[in-house]
Amino acid sequence: MALRPLASLRRSWEPGHTTVVLPLGLIAVVFVVDTLSPSHIHLGPLLVAAPALTVAFAGARLTALVGALAVATQVAIGVARGVLATANIQAQIGALLVVSALLVGFCLVRDRREQKLHQVTSVAEAAQQVLLRPLPSRSGPLEIAHLYLPAEEEAEMGGDLYAAARTSHSTRLLIADVRGKGLAAISHAALLLGAFRAAAHRQATLRNLAVHLDGAMRWDSAQWRNREEPDTEESFATAMLLDIPDEEPVVRFITCGHPPALRLGGSGVSVLPARVGQLPLGLARLAGPPEYETETFPFERGELLLLYTDGVVEARDADGAFYPLTERAAAWRRHRPEEVVRQLRENLIAHVDGHLGDDAAAVAVRRI
């Protein structure tokens, strides 16, 4: 609480607030011109513009200071012209006092609301960072980097997600895209992240892990529904689960309706296609009991896997052209993961001119 006055002072005197010379200059000009003008010319009422200008860029303390200076200047004008005791000058001083007080009150209300908004935003950011934790930069023989670009301004997390877990002999990764947007998507994303983190390190196989995640999605949407009610819930998530052994130069994965990963190496860029089509998590039982099949591809030292959500490849420019990820990735074959996601971020933002239509997430993994 004791820090608030200091914060208010800092806000009032931020280096960028050099525009304070405008109200101060106006006060000086009005004083000089008014005292030198004929008796029938009165510029004193213009002094009210000084605190009115200040409130646009400063806090309550600086506004009050400028208002007090304007009132003092009005008094000085009355003294200099010998009219301080007249009803006209006293009315101008009173009006200036009232307007300055109202402007300071407005600043206090505005600053209080901004402080509350900042507190709420800070809590929301902390909660979002707990849900979507940063991935480790190293895991066994792997270097990892990640990217998240929310479509909504000021948002930190939406329906796209990623997570990593360490087993005794491998690294497991999840990248997924939950259907929908807003709080509902964040809620389902949090559920999926929690289910993965709780089970990824102890599930014997990727298949068992996929069944567990599918069941978690279905349980969340069905737990409060009566048996007689029809199942109209459409909660699901496209996902890709990966298991990368420390000692074997391979990657094992299960794709559940998710875009295929790219493998970047000395021979170029190749797509890791899903030979077996799987339904998204939460919908697997529509085709009977879920039977996930694990696929295996080579993943040698020096190669890099690029995982991404559909928000990356479906991003459009002003002409409606999709972002050419595979073509751009060819230039990043020898880059480290941090550089790959940096290049991807810059390329993608430039392609959409800074306005994403959907959340975009990516994870780069390099075996060293």
φ and ψ at residue 188, rounded to 5 degrees? -70, -35
What was the pLDDT predicted at 218?
A: 79
Segments making up each domain of the chain, as ranges: 3-127, 135-223+231-367
Fold classification of 135-223+231-367 is Phosphatase 2c; domain 1 (3.60.40)
Query: Measured between alpha carbons, how far is 164 from 174 in angstroms, rounded to an integer?
Result: 6
Q: What does the pLDDT read at residue 184? A: 74
pLDDT score of 108: 93
pLDDT at 49: 94
pLDDT for position 4: 42
Q: Which residues pair with 164 in a beta bridge?
A: 173
CB 238, CB 290: distance < 8 Å: no
**Average pLDDT value over all residues in the chain:** 86
pLDDT of 278 reads 86
Please give the Cα distance from 85 to 61 (Å, whole number): 30
Where the chain has pLDDT below 50, the residues are: 1-16
pLDDT tens digit string along 123-158?
656 666 667 889 999 999 999 999 999 886 555 566
Q: Please state whether 302 falls in left (phi above 0), alpha (psi between -120 and 50) or beta.
A: left
Tokens 């050099």 belong to which residue?
18
